[in-house]
Amino acid sequence: MDLALMDPYGTNPGPIDGSVLYDQEKHVSSAVWDGQERGALRCHEHTSKLDQWTLTEKQIELVDQAGFGYLRLIPAISLDNPLISALVERWRRETNTFHLNVGEMTVTLKDVALLLGLAIDGEPVIGITHTTCNSVCERYLGRVPESSYTSGGMVKLSWLKEFFSYCPEDAPLEVIECHTRAYLLYLVGSTIFSTTTGNKVPVMYLPLFENFDLCGKYAWGSAALAFLYRALGNASLRSQSTISGCLTLLQCWSYFHLNIGRPKLNTDSMHDRFPLVLSWKGKQSGPTTNRDVVFYRKALDSLKSSDVEWLPYRNMDSTVIPEDIKSNLILGRSKTMLICFDKAERHLPNRCLRQYGMFQSIPEDVQRWERKSRGVDGGVDLSGKMESEINEWLERRFHIVEGDDGADESDYMQWYLRITRKFVGRPISLSSEFQRTNAGLREIARMADTFSTNGLDEEQVDLINSIRNIAHECLRDQVGGPYIVSATPQIEVGKRIRGKERVRRKGTGKRLRKDDPAQYIAASEDDQSQYCGATVRVEQLPLHHLHREEDHSQLCPVDNEVTGLDMINGDVEGENMQLCNADIGFDHSELSHEAGEEGNAELIHAVVKVDDTQLFEATGKINDSQLCDVMNEVKDSQFSDSAKVVDSQICDATNEVGDSELPHVTSESDRQASKVEAEVVLESSLETPQDIAQQSKCSVVV
């Protein structure tokens, strides 16, 4: 089906076809769309103290022999947490790719080989699990850590640095090897296998460092990519707030491929050193301050083809690439399984063929796979548990993807825009969307109410009535719109507000100027989640005496939650009246009621638009009509202390009300009686409807 027919206004964030991104509801982009911001992720990479290790020449030789000679050269690079967080919002673990509006992209095995200089071919990095550290550390490091330095099968990086960061030149070979193994464990634990624990590394890698020659035969680059894929997938879930893995690899990959957040480098050539991460070594210059997640999110949402570098390495000097790395770059196009102990992730280059200089065709469906965990038992050899994944890795050279020279990328993009998530952030704010939708519904309801059915057949009349009923039903359900929020920003969604904030307004004192707009808090799509809902109590709200014979009872408290914009909306059944626009967090000047020149009642906060056919039954039975759909029309978010009823006076509805009149202040005594003392209390818990009903005041729980 044509995309324009499925999404004629281009406002559906997607996916329209959920067959590929089947975990959309768990993804962070769904939370962001709903206004639930989580802010920048906490990025765990512990490279800042790597330069405090002093290695002897023999140690450097052993590190090179083990396959980590180039990784050792990579310095600590300052991480751009907001950039990484925005990239994570575009990562989809269903395909292990970034879903950008130009198509899918990913970090490939070729990127790992060129950026980190790690081997992408060799034996899978897998072994035996450990739940304790003592025996493993004693065997491979010659020392047992104290219990304060361990946690299950993990040891603190600080312990490794404290006892092994310096090795004497004349130390025996056995001591040198123990110190080197400790360095390698620290190196992988602070870079390619960094964990969200903050400062620990599993000791399960130590047995792989026993023989340095055999260690060099493992596919450490493939394991690093499997670890990063899993970390990206976990961080992309709406419930997560941290990310681990080789974030230096991720950030530098972005620098090479996307012209977003890319810093200006020093004058040194970008393509004369290896590994290529070193191209970003040194002090970086450029505007990087005041760039938050929202900044990068908007940049990715509006990404253009001109901002993408599909082939960033094509102009580099190939002579700087070591032969053992260069000879295996073909595996960058291998559709295979990447393995790092219990972490097995699919490498799908067929979804990103443009990164290899090929035309992108519609890829085949992704075969779902089970993401396993190593469990809690120690001494388990994961080779048996991961047998199918290992077999797929062993066949990696038989699954090199090839391009299709006849592929039509327009067909691909038409398909892709149906299955992808086009936007992460909302183009317009939730409050603006609500106001626009509400206005449209009202116009539809008005047209349906006034539409002449003369000459229409029964089916057409039923259709008009159906439209009318649906519109009015939607308007009744919208008790205001987006959430009324407190003015206290919260670091995490869901935390209750602590303490109390009181704002008092009294009827005595100077009045607000009509040309002085009241400033209130309106949460946009980017900051709504930083606010929590509050209990709003409007106390001691005297009512104007009605010039009528009936007794006047106080407005009853509302016992349902208000989930809407700062508006007033009367329930059709006449059970509730909900007062909003408490203007939380601002100390305004006193407000007062005065009589207008023509006798019109001046209302506080809003101009009330009254439907000709219905009035709200507030204090008694007023004939058969009810005041419904009472909406605040607040222009440009401004309040006026004496807004006048536009065009028609409320008393025009006398044929519905009978002899009753609206509140009208005509004397000094009435003005004194209309003094308002409102107290807005932000509390950490809501009062029950029963507690509120017992109060002799009007209370509103929002």
Q: Write down the pLDDT at residue 287.
A: 53
Mean of pLDDT values over 120-130: 95
Block residue for tokens 């104290």: 146
What gap in Å lies between CA 569 and CA 231, rounded to an integer? 47
Q: Is the pLDDT of residue 123 over 70?
A: yes
Closest CA to 700 of 675, 671, 667, 678: 678
What gap in Å lies between CA 650 and CA 392, rounded to an integer? 77
What pTM does this model have?
A: 0.66
Peptide bond into 8 cis (omega under 30): no
Q: Write down the pLDDT at residue 270.
A: 52
Q: Write down the pLDDT at residue 272.
A: 58
Q: What's the one-letter identity of residue 547?
A: H
Mean of pLDDT values over 205-224: 98
What gap in Å lies between CA 120 and CA 98, rounded to an integer? 21
Token output for 603 = 């209302």
pLDDT tens-digit profile of 484-521? 333 333 343 343 333 333 333 334 444 444 444 333 33
Q: By CB neighbour count within 10 A (0-12 exposed, 13-18 middle, 19+ buried), where does 377 fall?
A: exposed
DSSP letter string over 214-230?
HHTTB-HHHHHHHHHHH
Neighbouring residues of 665: CB distance < 8 A, sequence distance ≥ 6: 544, 593, 594, 595, 601, 671, 674
Percent of the chain residues topping a pLDDT of 90 = 49
pLDDT, the chain, mean = 74
Q: By mean pLDDT, which of 321-335, 366-380, 399-413 is the weakest?
A: 366-380
